[in-house]
Structure 1
Amino acid sequence: MPLVVLCGPPGSGKSRRAAELREALDGPERRAHVVTEAEGGRAALRAEVERRLSRRDVVIVDAGNELRSGRYELYCAARQAGTALCLLHCAAGPPEPPFEAPDPRNRWDRPLFTVQGEEPLPLAEIRAALFDSTPPPPHRATRSQPLQSCEFLHRLDRATQDVVAAVVAAQRSGVLPGEEVRVPGVVEGLVLTRPVSMAELSRLRRQFISYTKMQPSDENLPQLASMFLQYLSRSIQ
Protein backbone atom coordinates (compact mmCIF):
# COMPACT_ATOMS: atom_id res chain seq x y z
CA MET A 1 0.00 0.00 0.00
CA PRO A 2 1.01 3.63 -0.36
CA LEU A 3 3.98 5.36 1.16
CA VAL A 4 3.83 8.89 2.59
CA VAL A 5 7.25 10.49 3.06
CA LEU A 6 7.49 13.48 5.37
CA CYS A 7 10.39 15.91 5.15
CA GLY A 8 11.32 19.14 6.85
CA PRO A 9 13.75 20.73 9.29
CA PRO A 10 13.66 20.07 13.05
CA GLY A 11 10.72 21.73 14.76
CA SER A 12 8.57 21.94 11.64
CA GLY A 13 5.83 19.71 13.06
CA LYS A 14 6.56 16.45 11.22
CA SER A 15 5.59 14.16 14.12
CA ARG A 16 2.33 16.04 14.67
CA ARG A 17 1.53 15.79 10.96
CA ALA A 18 2.40 12.08 10.94
CA ALA A 19 -0.05 11.53 13.81
CA GLU A 20 -2.74 13.47 11.93
CA LEU A 21 -2.15 11.38 8.83
CA ARG A 22 -2.29 8.13 10.75
CA GLU A 23 -5.60 9.12 12.33
CA ALA A 24 -7.04 10.18 8.97
CA LEU A 25 -5.84 7.19 6.94
CA ASP A 26 -6.17 4.37 9.45
CA GLY A 27 -9.36 2.35 9.29
CA PRO A 28 -10.95 -1.10 9.19
CA GLU A 29 -10.01 -1.62 5.54
CA ARG A 30 -6.36 -0.67 6.02
CA ARG A 31 -3.87 0.11 8.78
CA ALA A 32 -1.59 3.13 8.84
CA HIS A 33 1.89 2.68 10.32
CA VAL A 34 4.30 5.47 11.31
CA VAL A 35 8.00 4.68 10.88
CA THR A 36 10.38 7.01 12.71
CA GLU A 37 14.11 7.53 12.39
CA ALA A 38 15.82 5.92 15.36
CA GLU A 39 19.14 4.33 16.20
CA GLY A 40 20.74 3.00 13.03
CA GLY A 41 20.10 6.12 10.98
CA ARG A 42 19.03 6.15 7.38
CA ALA A 43 19.84 2.53 6.60
CA ALA A 44 17.72 1.27 9.50
CA LEU A 45 14.87 3.61 8.52
CA ARG A 46 14.88 2.37 4.94
CA ALA A 47 14.97 -1.26 6.06
CA GLU A 48 11.98 -0.74 8.34
CA VAL A 49 10.04 1.00 5.56
CA GLU A 50 10.75 -1.87 3.17
CA ARG A 51 9.64 -4.38 5.82
CA ARG A 52 6.37 -2.51 6.39
CA LEU A 53 5.46 -2.00 2.74
CA SER A 54 2.64 -4.36 1.81
CA ARG A 55 -0.51 -4.56 -0.27
CA ARG A 56 -2.71 -3.67 2.71
CA ASP A 57 -1.22 -0.94 4.85
CA VAL A 58 -0.17 2.69 4.56
CA VAL A 59 3.36 3.53 5.68
CA ILE A 60 4.09 7.07 6.94
CA VAL A 61 7.76 8.00 7.24
CA ASP A 62 8.24 10.49 10.09
CA ALA A 63 11.83 11.64 9.54
CA GLY A 64 13.75 14.68 8.37
CA ASN A 65 14.64 13.22 4.95
CA GLU A 66 16.80 16.28 4.44
CA LEU A 67 18.75 15.02 1.43
CA ARG A 68 17.53 14.33 -2.08
CA SER A 69 19.42 11.05 -2.08
CA GLY A 70 17.49 9.79 0.96
CA ARG A 71 14.15 10.64 -0.60
CA TYR A 72 15.28 8.96 -3.81
CA GLU A 73 15.99 5.74 -1.92
CA LEU A 74 12.46 5.72 -0.51
CA TYR A 75 11.08 6.45 -3.97
CA CYS A 76 12.96 3.42 -5.31
CA ALA A 77 11.57 1.27 -2.48
CA ALA A 78 8.02 2.32 -3.40
CA ARG A 79 8.64 1.61 -7.08
CA GLN A 80 10.12 -1.76 -6.25
CA ALA A 81 7.00 -2.58 -4.21
CA GLY A 82 4.75 -1.28 -7.01
CA THR A 83 2.94 1.17 -4.73
CA ALA A 84 2.00 4.84 -4.82
CA LEU A 85 4.01 7.50 -3.00
CA CYS A 86 3.58 11.15 -2.09
CA LEU A 87 5.77 13.67 -0.26
CA LEU A 88 4.59 15.98 2.52
CA HIS A 89 6.93 18.92 3.09
CA CYS A 90 6.58 20.49 6.53
CA ALA A 91 7.98 23.94 5.82
CA ALA A 92 9.40 26.27 8.46
CA GLY A 93 10.99 29.31 6.86
CA PRO A 94 13.77 29.36 4.25
CA PRO A 95 15.58 26.01 3.99
CA GLU A 96 19.04 25.89 5.54
CA PRO A 97 21.79 23.30 5.00
CA PRO A 98 21.87 20.37 5.22
CA PHE A 99 18.15 20.42 4.30
CA GLU A 100 17.55 20.27 0.56
CA ALA A 101 14.06 21.48 -0.23
CA PRO A 102 11.98 19.13 -2.40
CA ASP A 103 11.56 20.03 -6.04
CA PRO A 104 8.45 18.68 -7.85
CA ARG A 105 10.48 18.51 -11.07
CA ASN A 106 12.21 15.48 -9.53
CA ARG A 107 10.27 12.23 -9.84
CA TRP A 108 11.08 11.29 -6.25
CA ASP A 109 9.68 14.60 -4.92
CA ARG A 110 6.20 14.32 -6.41
CA PRO A 111 3.33 14.46 -5.92
CA LEU A 112 4.38 17.13 -3.44
CA PHE A 113 2.22 18.72 -0.74
CA THR A 114 3.52 21.56 1.45
CA VAL A 115 2.11 22.70 4.78
CA GLN A 116 3.35 25.31 7.22
CA GLY A 117 2.45 26.20 10.78
CA GLU A 118 -1.18 25.39 11.62
CA GLU A 119 -2.25 25.10 8.01
CA PRO A 120 -4.64 22.13 7.62
CA LEU A 121 -3.49 19.04 5.78
CA PRO A 122 -4.78 18.69 2.20
CA LEU A 123 -6.27 15.32 3.06
CA ALA A 124 -8.52 15.02 0.00
CA GLU A 125 -5.59 15.59 -2.34
CA ILE A 126 -3.36 13.21 -0.37
CA ARG A 127 -6.01 10.47 -0.46
CA ALA A 128 -6.42 10.96 -4.21
CA ALA A 129 -2.66 10.69 -4.76
CA LEU A 130 -2.42 7.54 -2.66
CA PHE A 131 -5.60 5.64 -3.48
CA ASP A 132 -6.94 6.94 -6.79
CA SER A 133 -3.73 6.90 -8.82
CA THR A 134 -2.31 3.87 -10.56
CA PRO A 135 1.21 3.13 -9.31
CA PRO A 136 3.73 2.40 -12.06
CA PRO A 137 4.99 -1.18 -12.23
CA PRO A 138 8.40 -1.85 -10.67
CA HIS A 139 11.40 -1.45 -12.94
CA ARG A 140 9.32 0.10 -15.71
CA ALA A 141 12.16 2.45 -16.62
CA THR A 142 14.59 -0.45 -16.85
CA ARG A 143 12.31 -2.37 -19.20
CA SER A 144 11.31 0.55 -21.42
CA GLN A 145 14.76 2.12 -21.78
CA PRO A 146 17.25 -0.76 -22.19
CA LEU A 147 19.72 1.23 -24.30
CA GLN A 148 19.62 4.21 -21.95
CA SER A 149 20.11 1.94 -18.94
CA CYS A 150 23.36 0.54 -20.37
CA GLU A 151 24.75 4.05 -20.69
CA PHE A 152 23.33 4.94 -17.28
CA LEU A 153 25.02 2.01 -15.54
CA HIS A 154 28.33 2.81 -17.21
CA ARG A 155 28.15 6.43 -16.07
CA LEU A 156 27.02 5.36 -12.59
CA ASP A 157 30.00 3.04 -12.25
CA ARG A 158 32.44 5.71 -13.45
CA ALA A 159 31.01 8.52 -11.30
CA THR A 160 31.10 6.47 -8.10
CA GLN A 161 34.64 5.26 -8.86
CA ASP A 162 35.78 8.87 -9.29
CA VAL A 163 34.24 9.88 -5.96
CA VAL A 164 35.83 6.97 -4.09
CA ALA A 165 39.20 7.71 -5.70
CA ALA A 166 38.97 11.38 -4.67
CA VAL A 167 38.13 10.48 -1.06
CA VAL A 168 40.96 7.95 -0.84
CA ALA A 169 43.44 10.38 -2.39
CA ALA A 170 42.40 13.17 -0.04
CA GLN A 171 42.90 10.97 3.02
CA ARG A 172 46.31 9.85 1.79
CA SER A 173 47.30 13.49 1.32
CA GLY A 174 46.48 14.21 4.94
CA VAL A 175 42.97 15.70 4.94
CA LEU A 176 41.72 16.00 8.51
CA PRO A 177 38.23 15.40 9.96
CA GLY A 178 36.18 18.53 9.38
CA GLU A 179 38.00 19.45 6.16
CA GLU A 180 36.22 19.26 2.82
CA VAL A 181 37.04 16.70 0.16
CA ARG A 182 36.56 18.01 -3.37
CA VAL A 183 35.73 15.93 -6.43
CA PRO A 184 36.70 17.39 -9.82
CA GLY A 185 33.65 18.56 -11.76
CA VAL A 186 31.25 18.40 -8.79
CA VAL A 187 29.96 21.49 -7.02
CA GLU A 188 29.28 19.76 -3.71
CA GLY A 189 32.08 18.66 -1.44
CA LEU A 190 32.23 16.01 1.28
CA VAL A 191 33.19 16.85 4.85
CA LEU A 192 34.57 13.75 6.56
CA THR A 193 33.82 13.47 10.25
CA ARG A 194 36.21 10.53 10.65
CA PRO A 195 38.66 8.42 8.63
CA VAL A 196 36.93 6.07 6.18
CA SER A 197 38.55 2.86 4.99
CA MET A 198 38.58 1.64 1.41
CA ALA A 199 36.49 -1.35 2.48
CA GLU A 200 33.76 0.90 3.88
CA LEU A 201 33.80 3.14 0.83
CA SER A 202 33.49 0.10 -1.43
CA ARG A 203 30.57 -1.22 0.59
CA LEU A 204 28.74 2.11 0.48
CA ARG A 205 29.43 2.37 -3.25
CA ARG A 206 27.88 -1.06 -3.85
CA GLN A 207 24.81 -0.10 -1.81
CA PHE A 208 24.37 3.18 -3.68
CA ILE A 209 24.69 1.46 -7.05
CA SER A 210 22.16 -1.17 -6.00
CA TYR A 211 19.59 1.47 -5.03
CA THR A 212 20.21 3.78 -7.94
CA LYS A 213 20.20 1.28 -10.78
CA MET A 214 16.61 0.34 -9.90
CA GLN A 215 15.54 3.42 -11.86
CA PRO A 216 18.09 4.27 -14.57
CA SER A 217 17.20 7.59 -16.19
CA ASP A 218 19.01 10.12 -18.32
CA GLU A 219 17.58 12.81 -16.01
CA ASN A 220 20.00 11.70 -13.28
CA LEU A 221 23.16 11.43 -15.38
CA PRO A 222 24.57 14.89 -14.50
CA GLN A 223 23.79 14.39 -10.80
CA LEU A 224 25.20 10.92 -10.13
CA ALA A 225 28.44 12.03 -8.48
CA SER A 226 26.58 14.68 -6.46
CA MET A 227 23.98 12.13 -5.34
CA PHE A 228 26.70 9.70 -4.28
CA LEU A 229 28.47 12.43 -2.27
CA GLN A 230 25.20 13.20 -0.50
CA TYR A 231 24.73 9.50 0.19
CA LEU A 232 28.24 9.27 1.67
CA SER A 233 27.69 12.38 3.76
CA ARG A 234 24.61 10.86 5.35
CA SER A 235 26.02 7.35 5.71
CA ILE A 236 29.42 8.23 7.23
CA GLN A 237 28.59 9.41 10.73
Structure 2
Amino acid sequence: MPLIILSGYPSSGKTTRAKQLQKALEERIENNVDGTKDYRVVLINDESLDIEKEVYRESKTEKAARGLLYSAVQRELSKSTIVICDALNYIKGFRYQLFCESKSMYTPHCVVHVAVPKQMAKKFNSTSEHPYPEDVLDGLIFRYEEPNGMTRWDSPLFTVIHDDPTPPVDTIWSVLIHNKSVKPNLATMTKAPAEVNYLYELDKVTQDVIMLILNHQSTEGSSSLPIPGSSLQVEMPSITVSLPLLQRFRRQFVHINRQQSYNTNLLKDMFVDFLNGQFETME
Protein backbone atom coordinates (compact mmCIF):
# COMPACT_ATOMS: atom_id res chain seq x y z
CA MET A 1 0.00 0.00 0.00
CA PRO A 2 1.03 3.64 -0.29
CA LEU A 3 4.06 5.25 1.27
CA ILE A 4 3.61 8.81 2.54
CA ILE A 5 6.91 10.63 3.00
CA LEU A 6 6.87 13.72 5.19
CA SER A 7 9.62 16.29 4.79
CA GLY A 8 10.37 19.64 6.37
CA TYR A 9 12.61 21.60 8.68
CA PRO A 10 13.17 20.15 12.14
CA SER A 11 10.42 21.28 14.52
CA SER A 12 8.22 22.38 11.61
CA GLY A 13 5.22 20.38 12.81
CA LYS A 14 5.69 17.21 10.76
CA THR A 15 4.59 14.88 13.55
CA THR A 16 1.42 16.92 14.11
CA ARG A 17 0.60 16.61 10.40
CA ALA A 18 1.51 12.92 10.41
CA LYS A 19 -0.89 12.23 13.27
CA GLN A 20 -3.63 14.21 11.51
CA LEU A 21 -3.09 12.04 8.45
CA GLN A 22 -3.01 8.86 10.50
CA LYS A 23 -6.30 9.69 12.24
CA ALA A 24 -8.08 10.68 9.01
CA LEU A 25 -6.88 7.59 7.15
CA GLU A 26 -7.79 5.25 9.99
CA GLU A 27 -11.30 6.72 10.12
CA ARG A 28 -11.75 5.99 6.42
CA ILE A 29 -10.46 2.46 6.85
CA GLU A 30 -12.79 1.90 9.82
CA ASN A 31 -15.69 3.02 7.63
CA ASN A 32 -14.48 0.72 4.82
CA VAL A 33 -14.19 3.60 2.34
CA ASP A 34 -13.26 2.18 -1.09
CA GLY A 35 -13.15 -1.33 0.39
CA THR A 36 -10.22 -0.65 2.70
CA LYS A 37 -11.52 -2.37 5.86
CA ASP A 38 -8.57 -4.80 5.95
CA TYR A 39 -5.95 -2.07 5.64
CA ARG A 40 -3.94 -0.54 8.45
CA VAL A 41 -1.88 2.61 8.96
CA VAL A 42 1.62 2.55 10.40
CA LEU A 43 3.38 5.71 11.59
CA ILE A 44 7.19 5.50 11.62
CA ASN A 45 9.30 8.29 13.09
CA ASP A 46 12.34 8.96 15.26
CA GLU A 47 10.27 8.61 18.42
CA SER A 48 8.94 5.17 17.49
CA LEU A 49 12.49 4.04 16.73
CA ASP A 50 14.04 5.66 19.84
CA ILE A 51 16.30 7.88 17.74
CA GLU A 52 17.66 10.80 19.75
CA LYS A 53 17.96 14.24 18.18
CA GLU A 54 21.66 14.40 19.02
CA VAL A 55 22.45 11.73 16.40
CA TYR A 56 22.11 14.41 13.72
CA ARG A 57 25.21 16.16 15.05
CA GLU A 58 27.58 13.59 13.51
CA SER A 59 27.36 12.20 9.98
CA LYS A 60 28.18 8.65 11.11
CA THR A 61 25.38 8.46 13.67
CA GLU A 62 22.97 10.25 11.36
CA LYS A 63 23.67 7.71 8.61
CA ALA A 64 22.97 4.89 11.05
CA ALA A 65 19.67 6.55 12.03
CA ARG A 66 18.63 6.83 8.39
CA GLY A 67 19.44 3.17 7.90
CA LEU A 68 17.23 2.28 10.86
CA LEU A 69 14.39 4.37 9.44
CA TYR A 70 14.79 2.86 5.97
CA SER A 71 14.74 -0.68 7.36
CA ALA A 72 11.56 0.06 9.32
CA VAL A 73 9.84 1.34 6.18
CA GLN A 74 10.98 -1.74 4.25
CA ARG A 75 9.56 -4.06 6.88
CA GLU A 76 6.15 -2.41 6.97
CA LEU A 77 5.43 -1.80 3.29
CA SER A 78 2.85 -4.32 2.12
CA LYS A 79 -0.30 -4.57 0.06
CA SER A 80 -2.51 -3.82 3.07
CA THR A 81 -0.43 -1.23 4.95
CA ILE A 82 -0.25 2.54 4.52
CA VAL A 83 3.13 3.67 5.83
CA ILE A 84 3.59 7.25 7.01
CA CYS A 85 7.30 8.04 7.18
CA ASP A 86 7.39 10.99 9.58
CA ALA A 87 11.03 12.07 9.61
CA LEU A 88 13.25 14.91 8.44
CA ASN A 89 13.75 13.27 5.02
CA TYR A 90 15.69 16.39 4.14
CA ILE A 91 18.17 14.72 1.76
CA LYS A 92 16.79 14.26 -1.74
CA GLY A 93 18.94 11.17 -2.23
CA PHE A 94 17.25 9.50 0.74
CA ARG A 95 13.80 10.45 -0.56
CA TYR A 96 14.86 8.84 -3.85
CA GLN A 97 15.76 5.63 -1.99
CA LEU A 98 12.32 5.56 -0.36
CA PHE A 99 10.72 6.23 -3.75
CA CYS A 100 12.57 3.26 -5.26
CA GLU A 101 11.46 1.05 -2.38
CA SER A 102 7.81 1.92 -2.99
CA LYS A 103 8.27 1.32 -6.71
CA SER A 104 9.82 -2.10 -6.08
CA MET A 105 6.67 -2.99 -4.12
CA TYR A 106 4.46 -1.78 -7.01
CA THR A 107 2.81 0.71 -4.69
CA PRO A 108 2.23 4.47 -5.03
CA HIS A 109 3.84 7.11 -2.87
CA CYS A 110 3.59 10.83 -2.24
CA VAL A 111 5.58 13.51 -0.44
CA VAL A 112 4.01 15.89 2.07
CA HIS A 113 6.15 19.01 2.53
CA VAL A 114 5.45 20.71 5.86
CA ALA A 115 6.56 24.20 4.93
CA VAL A 116 7.21 26.82 7.60
CA PRO A 117 9.68 29.74 7.68
CA LYS A 118 13.03 29.05 9.33
CA GLN A 119 12.36 31.44 12.19
CA MET A 120 9.03 29.78 12.93
CA ALA A 121 10.71 26.36 13.06
CA LYS A 122 13.25 27.78 15.50
CA LYS A 123 10.45 29.24 17.62
CA PHE A 124 8.60 25.90 17.65
CA ASN A 125 11.83 24.19 18.64
CA SER A 126 12.43 26.56 21.55
CA THR A 127 9.06 25.64 23.06
CA SER A 128 9.31 21.91 22.34
CA GLU A 129 9.42 19.42 25.20
CA HIS A 130 12.36 17.70 23.48
CA PRO A 131 14.08 20.38 21.38
CA TYR A 132 16.94 19.94 18.94
CA PRO A 133 20.23 21.34 20.24
CA GLU A 134 20.73 24.74 18.62
CA ASP A 135 23.82 23.72 16.64
CA VAL A 136 22.06 20.61 15.33
CA LEU A 137 18.98 22.62 14.38
CA ASP A 138 21.03 25.20 12.47
CA GLY A 139 22.99 22.52 10.64
CA LEU A 140 19.89 20.62 9.55
CA ILE A 141 18.17 23.77 8.33
CA PHE A 142 21.29 24.74 6.38
CA ARG A 143 21.51 21.31 4.70
CA TYR A 144 17.79 20.97 3.97
CA GLU A 145 16.99 20.07 0.34
CA GLU A 146 13.43 21.16 -0.34
CA PRO A 147 11.20 18.73 -2.26
CA ASN A 148 10.70 19.52 -5.93
CA GLY A 149 7.47 18.31 -7.51
CA MET A 150 9.16 18.27 -10.93
CA THR A 151 11.26 15.24 -9.92
CA ARG A 152 9.61 11.85 -9.97
CA TRP A 153 10.68 10.89 -6.44
CA ASP A 154 9.09 14.04 -4.98
CA SER A 155 5.90 13.69 -7.00
CA PRO A 156 3.03 13.91 -6.27
CA LEU A 157 3.98 16.66 -3.85
CA PHE A 158 1.59 18.19 -1.32
CA THR A 159 2.70 21.34 0.49
CA VAL A 160 1.15 22.11 3.86
CA ILE A 161 1.85 25.57 5.31
CA HIS A 162 1.70 26.49 8.97
CA ASP A 163 -1.85 27.90 8.97
CA ASP A 164 -3.47 25.05 7.02
CA PRO A 165 -5.89 23.31 9.42
CA THR A 166 -5.08 19.84 8.05
CA PRO A 167 -3.18 18.23 5.17
CA PRO A 168 -5.26 17.72 1.96
CA VAL A 169 -6.49 14.28 3.03
CA ASP A 170 -9.13 13.95 0.29
CA THR A 171 -6.61 14.56 -2.48
CA ILE A 172 -3.95 12.35 -0.90
CA TRP A 173 -6.48 9.52 -0.52
CA SER A 174 -7.62 9.90 -4.12
CA VAL A 175 -4.09 9.87 -5.50
CA LEU A 176 -2.83 6.95 -3.41
CA ILE A 177 -5.82 4.66 -2.98
CA HIS A 178 -7.32 5.08 -6.44
CA ASN A 179 -3.99 4.77 -8.21
CA LYS A 180 -4.19 1.09 -9.09
CA SER A 181 -1.41 1.06 -11.67
CA VAL A 182 2.13 1.98 -10.65
CA LYS A 183 4.90 1.64 -13.19
CA PRO A 184 8.03 0.32 -11.45
CA ASN A 185 11.50 1.59 -12.27
CA LEU A 186 13.25 -0.53 -14.85
CA ALA A 187 15.94 -1.28 -12.27
CA THR A 188 13.43 -2.70 -9.78
CA MET A 189 11.40 -4.93 -12.12
CA THR A 190 11.51 -8.69 -11.55
CA LYS A 191 10.50 -11.99 -13.14
CA ALA A 192 12.11 -11.73 -16.57
CA PRO A 193 13.25 -14.80 -18.53
CA ALA A 194 16.59 -16.28 -17.48
CA GLU A 195 19.60 -16.27 -19.81
CA VAL A 196 22.78 -18.32 -19.50
CA ASN A 197 25.12 -15.38 -20.15
CA TYR A 198 23.20 -12.94 -17.94
CA LEU A 199 25.99 -12.11 -15.45
CA TYR A 200 28.53 -11.67 -18.24
CA GLU A 201 26.21 -9.28 -20.09
CA LEU A 202 25.35 -7.43 -16.87
CA ASP A 203 29.05 -6.78 -16.25
CA LYS A 204 29.87 -5.91 -19.87
CA VAL A 205 26.92 -3.61 -20.53
CA THR A 206 27.44 -1.57 -17.37
CA GLN A 207 31.18 -1.22 -18.01
CA ASP A 208 30.55 -0.15 -21.63
CA VAL A 209 28.13 2.56 -20.52
CA ILE A 210 30.60 3.85 -17.91
CA MET A 211 33.32 4.13 -20.57
CA LEU A 212 30.95 6.02 -22.89
CA ILE A 213 30.17 8.47 -20.08
CA LEU A 214 33.86 9.05 -19.29
CA ASN A 215 34.67 9.70 -22.94
CA HIS A 216 31.65 11.97 -23.29
CA GLN A 217 32.59 14.04 -20.23
CA SER A 218 36.07 14.66 -21.58
CA THR A 219 34.73 16.09 -24.85
CA GLU A 220 31.12 17.22 -24.45
CA GLY A 221 30.79 18.00 -20.75
CA SER A 222 27.28 17.91 -19.29
CA SER A 223 25.19 17.52 -22.45
CA SER A 224 22.87 14.55 -22.89
CA LEU A 225 24.50 11.33 -24.04
CA PRO A 226 22.70 8.94 -26.44
CA ILE A 227 23.62 5.32 -25.74
CA PRO A 228 23.92 2.98 -28.74
CA GLY A 229 21.50 0.10 -28.37
CA SER A 230 19.34 1.92 -25.82
CA SER A 231 16.07 3.77 -26.28
CA LEU A 232 17.14 6.15 -23.49
CA GLN A 233 19.93 8.67 -23.13
CA VAL A 234 22.03 9.58 -20.14
CA GLU A 235 21.06 12.98 -18.76
CA MET A 236 24.42 14.17 -17.51
CA PRO A 237 24.50 16.38 -14.39
CA SER A 238 25.99 19.86 -14.51
CA ILE A 239 29.01 18.69 -12.51
CA THR A 240 31.65 16.18 -13.58
CA VAL A 241 31.07 12.67 -12.29
CA SER A 242 34.31 11.02 -11.16
CA LEU A 243 35.31 7.51 -12.17
CA PRO A 244 35.16 6.22 -8.56
CA LEU A 245 31.59 7.52 -8.22
CA LEU A 246 30.57 6.02 -11.57
CA GLN A 247 32.04 2.70 -10.52
CA ARG A 248 30.17 2.90 -7.22
CA PHE A 249 26.88 3.45 -9.08
CA ARG A 250 27.79 0.52 -11.34
CA ARG A 251 28.47 -1.78 -8.37
CA GLN A 252 25.17 -0.77 -6.77
CA PHE A 253 23.27 -1.58 -9.96
CA VAL A 254 25.04 -4.92 -10.41
CA HIS A 255 24.41 -5.83 -6.77
CA ILE A 256 20.69 -5.02 -7.09
CA ASN A 257 20.25 -7.01 -10.29
CA ARG A 258 22.75 -9.89 -10.19
CA GLN A 259 20.22 -12.23 -8.54
CA GLN A 260 17.60 -11.45 -11.19
CA SER A 261 17.23 -12.96 -14.65
CA TYR A 262 16.33 -10.14 -17.01
CA ASN A 263 16.29 -10.28 -20.75
CA THR A 264 19.78 -8.98 -21.55
CA ASN A 265 18.37 -6.73 -24.26
CA LEU A 266 16.86 -4.61 -21.47
CA LEU A 267 20.06 -4.13 -19.47
CA LYS A 268 21.23 -0.93 -21.18
CA ASP A 269 17.88 0.76 -20.74
CA MET A 270 17.77 -0.38 -17.13
CA PHE A 271 21.25 0.90 -16.32
CA VAL A 272 20.68 4.24 -18.06
CA ASP A 273 17.41 4.69 -16.16
CA PHE A 274 19.20 3.87 -12.90
CA LEU A 275 22.05 6.32 -13.61
CA ASN A 276 19.63 9.10 -14.52
CA GLY A 277 17.96 8.65 -11.14
CA GLN A 278 21.33 8.89 -9.38
CA PHE A 279 22.42 11.91 -11.40
CA GLU A 280 19.19 13.78 -10.64
CA THR A 281 20.07 13.68 -6.95
CA MET A 282 23.38 15.43 -7.72
CA GLU A 283 21.83 18.56 -9.21
Structure with greater Cα Rg: 2
| SS in structure 1 of the partner of residue 67 of structure 2 | helix
Rounded Cα–Cα distance in structure 1 between residues aligned with 2:92 and 2:205 = 19
Q: 1:100 aligns with which of 130, 145, 151?
A: 145
Q: What stretches of structure 2 of length at least 5 have no aligned partner?
A: 31-36, 52-63, 119-139, 190-201, 215-237, 259-268
1:76–1:211 CA contact under 8 A, matched in 2: no
Rounded Cα–Cα distance in structure 2 between residues aligned with 1:152 and 1:100 = 33
The answer to whether the aligner puts 1:7 opposite 2:60 as a matched pair is no
Which residue of 2 is the match for residue 67 of structure 1? Answer: 91
Runs of 4+ aligned residues of structure 1 deviating over 3 Å after TM superposition are 37-40, 137-143, 149-158, 185-188, 202-213, 215-227
Rounded Cα–Cα distance in structure 2 between residues aligned with 1:97 and 1:212 = 36
The answer to whether the aligner puts 1:54 opposite 2:78 as a matched pair is yes
2:7–2:111 CA contact under 8 A, matched in 1: yes
2:15–2:86 CA contact under 8 A, matched in 1: yes
Shift of 1:157: 5.9
| SS in structure 2 of the partner of residue 97 of structure 1 | helix
Which residue of 2 is the match for residue 43 of structure 1? Answer: 67
Rounded Cα–Cα distance in structure 2 between residues aligned with 1:58 and 1:128 = 14
Shift of 1:126: 0.4
Rounded Cα–Cα distance in structure 1 between residues aligned with 2:277 and 2:186 = 21
The amino acid of 2:88's aligned partner reads G
The amino acid of 1:72's aligned partner reads Y
Shift of 1:216: 4.6
Label 1:212 to 1:110 Cα distance change in 2 as closer, same or farther (>3 A): farther
Which residue of 2 is the match for residue 131 of structure 1? Answer: 177
| SS in structure 2 of the partner of residue 82 of structure 1 | coil
Label 1:225 to 1:104 Cα distance change in 2 as closer, same or farther (>3 A): closer
The answer to whether the aligner puts 1:186 opposite 2:231 as a matched pair is no
Label 1:222 to 1:142 Cα distance change in 2 as closer, same or farther (>3 A): closer
The amino acid of 1:36's aligned partner reads N
Let me know the Cα RMSD of the aligned residues: 4.4
Rounded Cα–Cα distance in structure 2 between residues aligned with 1:156 and 1:91 = 40
Rounded Cα–Cα distance in structure 2 between residues aligned with 1:212 and 1:73 = 16
Which residue of 1 is the match for residue 40 of structure 2? Answer: 31
TM-score (norm 2): 0.55
Which residue of 1 is the match for residue 105 of structure 2? Answer: 81
Rounded Cα–Cα distance in structure 2 between residues aligned with 1:122 and 1:150 = 46
| SS in structure 1 of the partner of residue 143 of structure 2 | coil
Q: What stretches of structure 1 of length at least 5 have no aligned partner?
A: 144-148, 162-184, 189-197, 231-237
Identity %: 30
Rounded Cα–Cα distance in structure 1 between residues aligned with 2:112 and 2:71 = 20
